[in-house]
Chains A and B, each alone.
Chain A
Amino acid sequence: MTLAAPGVERRGAGFRRAAAQSDGRMPLRTAAGLGLGAAVLWLSLLVLLPLAAVIVKGTGNGWSGFWDALTTREALSALRLTVFSSIGVAALNAVIGTLIAWVLVRDRFRGKRVVEVVIDIPFALPTIVAGLVLLTLYGPHSPVGVNWYATTRGVILALLFVTLPFVVRTVQPVLIGLDREVEEAAASLGASRFTTFLRVILPAILPAIAGGAALAFARAMGEYGSVVLISGGLQFKTEISSMYVYSQIENDQLAAAAATATALLAISLVVIGLLDIVQRWAARRG
């Protein structure tokens, strides 16, 4: 839309000049500048300063202090359990989440709407309620006799619960937007359904799967409320890093808590950063 009306020259000059820029954005003026200041202040007080404090406290005793705090037997086994469970859960979700997304998009059956709603429940449900829900069915007072309390299986179950929606919800829109003509063309050329999936569909949804899996990984790394009830907190066996950090905070060992917290932050951020790179590479290729 070009603005050729007279009088625009005076009032709208700034906008015209700005709109002419390729990215459609305006430079900051006073009102917006103040808004930016307020936003920066808010983010600093809320996010920046606190996270910086964690990193500072964790590395306050130098690299050796950080490493010592991180590699105590308890901290290390908690970290190992956390990382491996999160990887496992992300991988499992990548597969089953894609499957569920496929069924939701390509299949039609009675009750599909219910499934859609149910999938969103773990995302919106308070984590402690999720924990209680799982403990009820899969804990010591289970009506079906399945007792996974204080086992690694129980921890993984809780993580699967809370990460259920991630891959499903990132893959679904992509599947919906897929151009069916390519698939039909492949089918008409004699490709089996499996080959079509492998060669046509999978490459298209791979970035979304990777994205969802990375989100699931990051969520699983930091999860607390849903795991704490069913895990039982057995040191060296079912204690995950967030539980370890919590007990260190309660014992006033803030430096030790901060060391593990820093490690958790670093791992999650690295994974999300990698994901960003992978997605951009895939987008350029695709």
Chain B
Amino acid sequence: MKRFPMNRMRAAVLSRLRGRHLLATLTVALVATVGLVACTSSNAATSSGNGKRLSVVAYSVAKPAYDALQKGFASTTGGSGVTWRSSYGASGDQSRAVQHGQQADYLAFSLEPDLTRLVPKFVASDWNNGPTKGLVSESVVAIVVRKGNPKKITGWDDLARSGVKIVTPDPGSSGSAKWNILAAYTHVLARGGTDAEAETYLKKFYANVVSKPDSGSKATQTFLNGTGDVLISYENEAIAARQKGQALDYIVPAESILIENPAAVTVTAPQAAKDFLTYVVSADGQKVLASKGFRPVLAGTSLPTVVGANDPAKPFPTVAHLVTVADLGGWNAINKKYFDDPTGIVSRIEAGAQ
């Protein structure tokens, strides 16, 4: 910036001694006062003794859902007067953040391992003892395409075609990414293929990946900004994007994986957080989730018309070959087989692609 012109030498000493320091003193005093006020108010702002201020740490694509759930909760008795502090980001990153000291009362992640790593220090070990086994929502992996489906994608096999550019998040940080990869791999198995064939497919899939953003919602943003032909994401994220008026189409492929999203309260959470969790798995809460494109876990939830779904009246089509985590042997087995560094299938493929 402009250099400060130097013309000080002309001033006489005695005129200096004439107490012309008012402005400087005032400036310093003002800054000091602001600082002091700031310090005291900041202390108040960060203290979490207030039972009515809840901290939510959630995975990135859950934001539209939790914005709506927070509004819905406010109209219940337990929820009136609650103020929120919410953080959204890639599921794995958010989980690690809580581990590193980020404050949280209510946790919502994309997949179970991100929650179970916080047991027992942050989450009680009986978190999944409830009727819904700790889950609050479900979804399936969907293939999102440009409006009108110009590349004529009908299913997973089309993604291995040369020239199809795929956007999928980075499995190192994102929960969505892991679901996507599992769905891509297991679709081969679901149709009677072998592991070797599935691995070949996954290599072709990876060869077509042009961008690996950090989180599910960042992947959506990247896709909407014009990168890639195809985005692999949650069904609920596709619906949410369409609810925001974005021009895209999505396909629920014939083979997919059942995405199960867990949520829990932390060990230090106040009663209001527990009430919120109860609300989320209640009929009302599940209806709110459904309206945002999430498949409810509570059996018998009446589905509202879901704006943005392919068929708003029947928003959650049955998937012909739906694989579940249980089918694959549970998350420990899954992580070992696919994601562990360096022997997991995905780690090997990613390293090979390096």
Known: A72-B354, A165-B1, A232-B225. Contact between A250 and B214, CB under 8 A?
yes
Whether A150 pairs with B226 at a CB distance below 8 angstroms is yes
Tell me if B225 and A123 are in contact (CB < 8 A). Answer: no
B96 on the interface (CB 8 Å rule)? yes
**Max chain A Cβ within 10 angstroms of own Cβ: one of B89, B211, B213:** B211
Q: Which residues of A contact B354 (CB under 8 A)?
A: 72-74
A251 touches B (CB below 8 Å) = yes
* Majority secondary structure of chain B interface residues (helix, strand, loop or mixed): loop
Give every chain B residue within 8 A of A120 (Cβ-Cβ). Answer: 1
Which of B92, B210, B213, B225 is the one whose CB lies under 8 Å from A139? B225
From B96, B212, B213, A252 is in contact (CB under 8 Å) with B96
Q: How far is the CA of A252 from the CA of B95 in the complex (A)?
A: 11
A250 to B215, CA, bound (A): 10
Question: In the complex, are the beta carbons of B211 and A173 less than 8 A apart?
Answer: no
How many of chain A's residues have a CB under 8 angstroms from any CB in B?
A: 24
Q: Given contacts A149-B226, A250-B173, is CB(A232)–CB(B93) below 8 Å?
A: no
C-alpha gap A252/B94 in the complex (Å): 11
B 1-26 binary contact with A (CB < 8 Å = 1; else 0): 11100000000000000000000000
Return chain B residues, CB-CB under 8 Å to A253.
Answer: 172
Contacting pair B225 A233 (CB below 8 A): no
Once A251-B92, A251-B93 are accepted as A-B contacts, the answer to whether A173 and B3 lie under 8 Å apart by CB is: yes
Contact B211 A235 (CB under 8 A): yes
A5 CB to nearest chain B CB (Å): 14
The answer on a CB contact under 8 Å between A232 and B170 is: no
Give Cα A172–Cα B5 distance, bound, in whole angstroms.
Answer: 13
Q: Is A12 an interface position by the 8 A CB rule?
A: no
* B220 smallest CB distance to A (angstroms): 13
Most-contacted residue by chain A among B90, B92, B225 (CB, 10 A): B225
A282: interface (CB < 8 Å): no
A139 to B222, CA, bound (A): 12
**132-168 of chain A: CB within 8 A of chain B:** 139-140, 147, 149-150, 165
Residues on A with C-beta less than 8 A from B3 are 173
Contact of A57 with B by CB under 8 A: no
- Nearest CB in chain B to that of A237: its residue: B210
In contact, A232 and B212 (Cβ under 8 angstroms): no
The answer to whether A195 has its CB under 8 Å from any CB of chain B is: no
CB of A133 to closest CB in B, whole Å: 16
Tell whether, in the assembled complex, residue A251 and residue B172 are in contact, meaning their CB atoms are under 8 Å apart.
Answer: yes
| A247 engages B225 (CB within 8 Å) | no
Cα(A37)–Cα(B199), bound, Å: 62
Query: Which of A73, A74, A233, A235 has the most CB atoms of chain B within a 10 A radius of its CB?
Result: A233
B173 touches A234 (CB 8 A): no
Cβ of B87 under 8 Å from chain A: no
Are B2 and A233 closer than 8 Å at their CB atoms?
Answer: no
Docked pose: A73 CA to B93 CA in angstroms: 22
Most buried by A among B92, B96, B210: B210
**In the bound complex, do residue A150 and residue B227 qualify as a contact, i.e. CB atoms below 8 Å apart?**
yes
Contact B211 A149 (CB under 8 A): no
Min CB distance B186 to A, Å, is: 25
Partner of A232, one of B2, B172, B227: B227
> In the assembled complex, how far is the CB of residue A62 from the closest CB belonging to chain B, in whole angstroms?
20
In the assembly, what is the distance between CA of A252 and CA of B225, in Å? Answer: 27
| Nearest CB in chain B to that of A135: its residue | B225
B227 with A250: CB separation less than 8 A? no
Selected contact of A140 from candidates B172, B210, B225, CB within 8 Å = B225
**A251–B226 contact, CB under 8 A?**
no
- B170 to chain A: which residues have CB within 8 Å? 247, 251
- 27 inter-chain pairs at a CB distance below 8 angstroms, sorted by A residue, are A72-B354, A73-B354, A120-B1, A139-B225, A140-B224, A149-B225, A150-B225, A150-B226, A150-B227, A169-B1, A172-B2, A232-B227, A233-B214, A233-B218, A234-B210, A234-B227, A247-B170, A247-B173, A250-B89, A250-B90, A250-B214, A251-B92, A251-B93, A251-B170, A251-B172, A251-B173, A253-B172
Q: What 10 pairs across the A-B complex have the smallest Cβ distances?
A: A73-B354, A140-B226, A251-B172, A250-B93, A234-B211, A140-B225, A251-B173, A252-B96, A150-B227, A173-B3
With A233-B211, A250-B90 known, 14 other A-B pairs at CB within 8 A are: A123-B1, A140-B225, A140-B226, A232-B211, A232-B222, A233-B218, A235-B211, A235-B212, A237-B210, A247-B173, A250-B173, A251-B170, A252-B93, A252-B96
